[in-house]
Amino acid sequence: MQTWPGSTYPLGATFDGNGTNFALFSEGADRVELCLFDDDGEETRYDLVDVDAFVWHGFLPNVGPGQRYGFRVHGEYDPSSGRRFNANKLLLDPYAKAVEGQVDWDQAVFGYNFGDPDSRNDEDSAEHMMMGVVINPFFDWGGDRQPKTPYSESVIYEAHVKGLTQLHPDIPEEIRGTYSAIAHPAIIEHLNKLGITAIELMPVHQFVNDSGLQDQGLSNYWGYNTIAFLAPQNTYSSTGERGHQVQEFKGMVRALHDAGIEVILDVVYNHTAEGNHLGPHLSMRGIDNEAYYRLEDDDKRYYTDYTGTGNSLNAGNPHALQLLMDSLRYWVLDMHVDGFRFDLAATLAREFYDVDRLATFFELVQQDPVVSQVKLIAEPWDVGPGGYQVGNFPPQWTEWNGKYRDTVRDFWRGEPQALGEFASRLTGSADLYENSGRRPFASINFVTAHDGFTLRDLVSYNEKHNDANGEDGRDGESHNRSSNFGVEGETDDPEILMLRSRQQRNFIATLMLSQGVPMILHGDELGRTQHGNNNGYAQDNEITWIDWSQVDNQLIEFTAALVRLRREHPTFRRNRFFDGRPVRREAGERIPDIVWVRPDGSVMQPEDWDSGFGLAIGVFINGNGISERDRRGEGISDSHFMVLFNAGGETVDFTLPDVDYSPKWDVLVDTGGERATEEPVGPGDTLAVKAQSLMLLREHQVTESDVDHSLSASLSPMTGVIDTIPSPAPKPEAGT
């Protein structure tokens, strides 16, 4: 086959209808061979003789979609200087848009001989390697449009492609655990019922199963072991056909967009699956080790590791940065995704040693006309020195707020803490984000995530139970801020079950009533358990899959009702921080936008915040204090609300504030299990807030018939289910 010169851009394999252009960056290579494989595994090699700006390239006419390929890169093998070229190792294209096969972990995929890391291994690795696949870039998107849901209106659902769908009875068995399963009407109906606006998928970039896990009969289930940043994971394809995963992924995105649901990808750009100096030769290590990885200055045999996985991507190198940016743009432009959550994002900020939020990567994102316009969510920490960077990312970024998680967990388990910390997390964490010009929605609020206990386990276990992981309990977080309420794990004690049920509702209600963007872990809304395993990264089985036969339907209804309340009331999804200033005159008083109150109905004073009075507090939120305008430019107003929190072990009598501006109140939510009031309560009245429960009150609504039908909320002691939460009555016109 004749090889034409081709083009240096785009990198990777690009089919144009007449043939395929291949381009590979390698600054240190002496020679690059393109290797094509036929259906029988026969290999044909072509020298890429044209090289410009360290990009080796060639165009092959008549090579089209479905063609398997890899590269062999010739050059110096001297690990002490950082060079690990070895043409006997077939290498996966970092820009591969589809991948076929898996690594089988034969000795041949390693650059050294087992037992002698300083030796060189020249066994050919081709038959043991995964390969890139030339894809058909054409897809009928129809009228697909990205929902572009504002952050302030977003509710995120963190999910695993397989874990969410593998056991769902309404999904055909042949597509369970795949992109097609996520697009199935059963899943979309569930997400819409909950009011989810964005699904955040755990890693779907092509990843590698670790050999150590495979030897134990386990796997890298979570997928935080990426090897190809532009390729969707091939095991999530329902057909197994070569390259079909790309079309199937696009079909999933189109179906979710049709339902108004955004797609956010959890991306792992901080490291790759090649690991440390004892890792395999799979891709970048053999293409240009020095360019793609951070190496130790005093001995370049070793890799700088800020991630705990063996290596860190060299985000200070322009070619590594180009790979990241090209990948991000590809997923937005070609795959139509709506945003990214960056795993261990602090690593990307380490241009030299210290974390620098103005590192080159963030400057590139800021200036990019494509990437800068989608949702950018940072996991704002890594395991390196100074890696905990919550609140320190650039203004256009939002962050997983680990301080929110820790504070809310501690509050509801009754830990002594400063009430000011809880108040700050509930109101959007202005202490973290306001000074950088960000809004409350910079805080991605969560109580649980994939890493840690599920919500049900958070209220059922004091200790992690990770024996199935085969690490003798060394893995996983030991300080979980959890409580089992007297019995470790499952129990049939009705009082403990009632308390656990109430605590789950407390967490869900707190999450939905907090300023910021709420994120729900998949299955928390239906009572999913991992039986105390708080690190299910290696458990591709019933431990981590949602058991749809054991579903708490009443908890689903409760969650959906709270999400609906949040959606209908802008009071709980403000675009601006509270400032405590009066906003409007009512009944002769100037009303602040927020007022914190003690159980006796008096306003919290400065000395109260540090008095140890830390388990019961109320907050009044002024519905007229939303100093914002809607999309039509009209001022936004809402009902007044009050939330009463009691995290203590005894019932607390809250006296409703008795001042001129206090309205009458309807009790919308009572996680304590009492039947909600049928008659409104007023200033000076007392409400008994049960131990470890909360109440949500809304200013009394009067219907046209002058009969209060605004509330129909029945909460049983075991479930606390809200049967209905009505839409708010129209606000009276000013002056009426």
Least reliable range by pLDDT among 360-364, 379-383, 564-568, 599-603: 379-383
User: Is 343 labeled as catalytic in the residue annotation?
Assistant: yes
Question: Among 311-320, 443-452, 599-608, which range has the highest average pLDDT?
Answer: 443-452
User: Is 586 labeled as catalytic in the residue annotation?
Assistant: no
For the chain, the farthest-separated pair of C-alpha atoms sits apart, in whole angstroms, at 89
Q: Which two tokens stand for residue 641?
A: 């609300």
Catalytic residue among 338, 379, 593, 666: 379
The letter for the amino acid at 306 is Y
> Is residue 10 reached through a cis peptide bond, with omega within 30 degrees of 0 on the bond before it?
yes
Interval 12-23: pLDDT, tens = 999 999 999 999
Residue 595: is its pLDDT beyond 50? yes
Which comes out higher in pLDDT, residue 411 or 726? 411
Interval 49-94: pLDDT, tens = 999 999 999 999 999 999 999 999 999 999 999 999 999 999 999 9
Q: What is the mean pLDDT of the chain?
A: 90
pLDDT at position 68 is: 98
In this prediction, residues 547-551 reach a mean pLDDT of 95
Q: How confident is the model at residue 358 (pLDDT cuts 50, 70, 90)?
A: low
Interval 476-509: pLDDT, tens = 999 999 999 999 999 999 999 999 999 999 999 9
Q: How confident is the model at residue 729 (pLDDT cuts 50, 70, 90)?
A: very low
**What Rg do the C-alpha atoms of the chain give, in angstroms?**
28
The model's pTM = 0.94
Least reliable range by pLDDT among 114-123, 327-336, 348-357, 373-382: 348-357
Residue 7: is its pLDDT beyond 90? yes
pLDDT at position 360 is: 85
| Cα first-last separation, the chain | 83
Are 233 and 205 contacting, i.e. CB atoms less than 8 angstroms apart?
yes
pLDDT at position 610 is: 76
Residue 708: is its pLDDT beyond 50? no
Q: Which domains does the chain have, with CATH numbers?
A: 12-134 (2.60.40.10), 263-572 (3.20.20.80), 594-699 (2.60.40.1180)
* Per-residue DSSP letter, 731: P
pLDDT at position 419 is: 85
- Which segments of 331-436 are extended strands (E)? 339-342, 375-378, 398-400
DSSP string, 622-668: -TT----B-TTSPBP----EEEEEE-SSS-EEEEPP-STT---EEEE
In this prediction, residues 160-180 reach a mean pLDDT of 98
* Per-residue DSSP letter, 732: P
Q: Which two tokens stand for residue 367?
A: 């200036």
Cα–Cα distance measured from residue 203 to residue 161, given in angstroms and rounded to the nearest whole number: 9
Residue 720: is its pLDDT beyond 50? no
pLDDT at position 612 is: 61
Among 89, 82, 140, 80, residue whose Cα is nearest residue 111? 89
In this prediction, residues 399-407 reach a mean pLDDT of 96
Interval 95-124: pLDDT, tens = 999 999 999 999 999 999 999 999 999 999
pLDDT at position 585 is: 53
Among 322, 394, 407, 387, residue whose Cα is nearest residue 357? 394
pLDDT at position 609 is: 85
Least reliable range by pLDDT among 148-157, 184-193, 375-384, 443-452: 375-384
pLDDT at position 608 is: 86
Q: What does the angle CA 397 – CA 400 – CA 401 come to, to the nearest 5 degrees?
A: 110
Least reliable range by pLDDT among 121-135, 181-195, 408-422, 718-732: 718-732
pLDDT at position 354 is: 66
Interval 659-684: pLDDT, tens = 666 789 999 999 998 655 578 999 99
Interval 315-344: pLDDT, tens = 889 999 999 999 999 999 999 999 999 998
pLDDT at position 430 is: 95
Catalytic residue among 210, 343, 552, 666: 343
